[in-house]
Amino acid sequence: MLKATSNGRLAISRRRLLTATATGVSVMALGPVGRAFAQEGTVRWVSPRGTLEVVDDWAYWVAKKYGYFGDIETTIEPGPLEATAVVKLVDQNQSDFGYPSPGIFSLGLEQGMDLASAFHIMAGDVFDFAFQKGKAPADFKGLEGKTIVLGSAGWQAITNPMLAAAGVDPASVKYVEAGNAWGQTLAQGQADAALSWEGLRAQWRGQGLDFDYLLGKNVSTFPANSYVTRKSDLSDPAKVELYTKYLRGFAMGYEFGHLNPRAASHIVMEEFPGLKTQMTPAVITESMMQMDALAHAKWEERQQMWGFHLMSSWQAYFDAIKSIGQITKEIKAEDVVSNDLIAGANDFDKAKVKADADAYELPEEWKSVDVEAIRATL
């Protein structure tokens, strides 16, 4: 349970992780997400972040703008911030795809949910730790015994494997759950560190939250977030055809963004004008490029295909989380991670996507964004 500390913060007990992730998600709490089920010819995707007003989903907005989904009716919605909400929605047939981290995905598998990863976005570890300026330790080992603030208690499923892999006993860490204000909680000095991720660190800076970071991608060999669907759907020929076509739209969106990150970023800002109050064109482009670098990571190993899973990386992750007791069941990557849709999803007209990306008319303020200078910082 959550316990108040002497300074009024909420600390997460060691049993809170399982408690948080075992709680059901009510239809009433989910609003429109819970009221509509997947239908033939439609695909519903739910975000794990509690909001869509971020740069992270640029591939969807690009695909929607250019008609890359074809005649598929698509829905994208913000799910609850609670960590395992997206996998519960998929399992309960209230969403067709969720976007969990491997840690959250594995907790769903541990609970017997009907899940499989069908399209791997972040081939490198996207997660980082943020610190107040000048207070970052030399490496992850410096997190031993520290207080880490999270948006959701269930995010321990993300941080604990990273800590353990770095030689830090997760039991030595005290967690604080702060909801959507977890970045502000760190800024106010109420924790030593905060979980962050690529893209968010640029967005936080745009919001005035200027932190130092230890980057997961520099030390971790773990995979990160992927598009997860129902495992049973991958045995249904009609669903396989629908989902392949749907994921092809995403692959085209990712291809477009890699070729012209300023255009993809501008498309997101056009969709959510409120982002203009949080980020300049340079910052929003940097946010997008931080994530694109990981979506395009290990490109040769992944056969130069968007969404391709590296089975060895996933198996190493599943073995690691079992070794620390985060899950109790043996998980074979080949049973729950599938590349069956990847070749079809990448079978698109690359020349057309390049032509679309090259022809995009940027506003003047976006033309001055130095993409190569940003790339040098990634």
Mean of pLDDT values over 269-293: 93
- pLDDT band for 83, please (50, 70, 90 cuts): confident
Checking if the pLDDT of 41 tops 90, the result is no
Cβ atoms 196, 151 nearer than 8 A? no
Element containing residue 244 per DSSP (H, E): helix 237-259
pLDDT at position 39, please?
54
Checking if the pLDDT of 29 tops 80, the result is no
Cβ atoms 219, 140 nearer than 8 A? yes
Q: Sign of torsion, CA 366 367 370 374?
A: positive
Q: Sign of torsion, CA 329 334 335 339?
A: positive
Weakest mean pLDDT among 11-25, 34-48, 286-300:
11-25
Checking if the pLDDT of 24 tops 60, the result is no
205 vs 233, higher pLDDT: 233
154 vs 176, higher pLDDT: 176
Q: What is the mean pLDDT of the chain?
A: 89
Mean of pLDDT values over 189-205: 94
Checking if the pLDDT of 320 tops 90, the result is yes
> Across the beta sheet with 174-177, what order do the strands follow?
2-4, 10-12, 174-177, 147-150, 193-197, 127-132, 211-215
pLDDT at position 365, please?
94
CA nearest neighbour of 45 among 112, 118, 134: 118
Task: Give the Cβ contact number of residue 352 at 10 Å.
Answer: 14
pLDDT at position 89, please?
96
Q: Domains along the chain?
A: 2-21+125-218 (3.40.190.10), 27-123+224-345 (3.40.190.10)
In this structure, what token pair is assigned to residue 269? 């800002």
Weakest mean pLDDT among 17-21, 226-230, 265-269, 290-294:
17-21
Mean of pLDDT values over 212-224: 93
- pLDDT band for 23, please (50, 70, 90 cuts): very low
Element containing residue 85 per DSSP (H, E): helix 85-91
Residue with tokens 């968010």: 200
φ, ψ for residue 124, nearest 5 deg: -115, 165
pLDDT in tens, 153-168: 889 989 999 999 999 9
pLDDT at position 40, please?
64
**What CA–CA distance (Å, rounded) separates 249 from 262?**
19
Checking if the pLDDT of 28 tops 60, the result is no
Element containing residue 77 per DSSP (H, E): strand 73-78
Q: Which amino acid is at 331?
A: I
Q: Cα 331 to chain center, whole Å?
A: 21
pLDDT in tens, 101-125: 999 999 999 999 999 999 999 998 9
pLDDT in tens, 336-363: 999 999 999 999 999 999 999 999 999 9
CA nearest neighbour of 129 among 204, 188, 57, 79: 204
